[in-house]
Amino acid sequence: MLICKARLAPSPTGYLHLGNARSFLLAWLQARALGGEIILRIEDLDRPRAVEGAEKDIVGDLEWLGLDWDNELTPNYYQSNRLHLYCEALDDFKARDLLYPCFCARKELAEAMSAPHNSAGRYPGTCRNLSTEKRAEREVKKNPALRFRVEPGSIIEYNDLIHGSLRSDVYEETGDFIVARADGIPSYQLAVVLDDIAMGVTHVLRGDDLLDSTPRQILLYHAFSTKPPIYAHVPLILGPDRKRLAKRHGSVSIVEIRGTGRSPEEVVGWLAWSCGLRSDIGKTTAAELIEDFVIDNISRHGTHLSSLDIFSP
């Protein structure tokens, strides 16, 4: 019986940076320490934002860091080649009356969500109960997005390996959420759940910036009558402005660090130290971290980079 099947799921909307690399390293270590499998999947649904050449560089960077995977990167492991599967799921949801069309513009949503009586970020249900006639009138003028109906009392309770026991009232905190955009492209929430189900993923380790997405994803697992994976949301690496490390922070991509002449052992050693797996900064390989890997040793606090010149030449 397979104890663990995890995944590395980069998006080619940018280059692999230290924060992504650390999350992928930890996901890889978790799977390998449990004697499990790991797959590589390219989450390329957002084609307009894709950076030319990023996918090739990301795969090369992961290999340079010493990470491997157990699948060949065939077309089936690209989300852009799985659109028909997402559409089939949407058709199933429609047949079960789990979806409805939403015609709200971004400005309307922003105004509604800023109302004093409304929870921050909660969709107020503006289009939920539109009559058939009203929907037909609006469809003439605008293609709708599709929202998943969240019923009152939709309480999600689960255990996160980093954050412990968590509880979320999705109806009160989020409300009905989008599962397909107005241009027909499925949402991240839907695609990632369907892919993880189809690929047999049992463990999901990722950055805690996705913690808020988890209750919605678990609701989708329930809609598919499937058990959710085991989750672990790890703290992020923060830039000098204490915001999530991103392109705006400058030369923090692995491809740029490689260009300085640094070795993969130096980078992996720093990543291991930064999240609490090592007590000091020293050279190591990803494989050397497997034997002593314990998820409880991962720091519960984000890593703040006061300077971005840690890997300068």
* Tally: H helices and E strands in the chain: 11, 11
Distance CA 8, CA 22 (A): 11
239 neighbors 212 (Cβ within 8 angstroms): no
Three-state SS at 236: coil
Is 247 an annotated catalytic residue? yes
What is the residue-wise DSSP string for 38-49?
Answer: EEE-B----GGG
- Give how far the C-alpha of residue 151 lies from the chain's centroid of Cα atoms, to the nearest Å: 24
Largest CA distance in the chain: 67
CB 49 within 8 A of CB 267: no
- Total residue length of the chain: 313
CA dihedral 80, 81, 84, 86 (to 10 degrees): -50
What's the start-to-end Cα distance of the chain, in Å?
47
Do residues 264 and 255 touch, judged by C-beta distance below 8 A? Answer: no
Which of the following is catalytic: 94, 243, 247, 283?
247
In this structure, is the dihedral angle defined by the CA atoms of residues 217, 24, 309 and 301, taken in order, positive or negative?
positive
Residues with a known catalytic role? 247
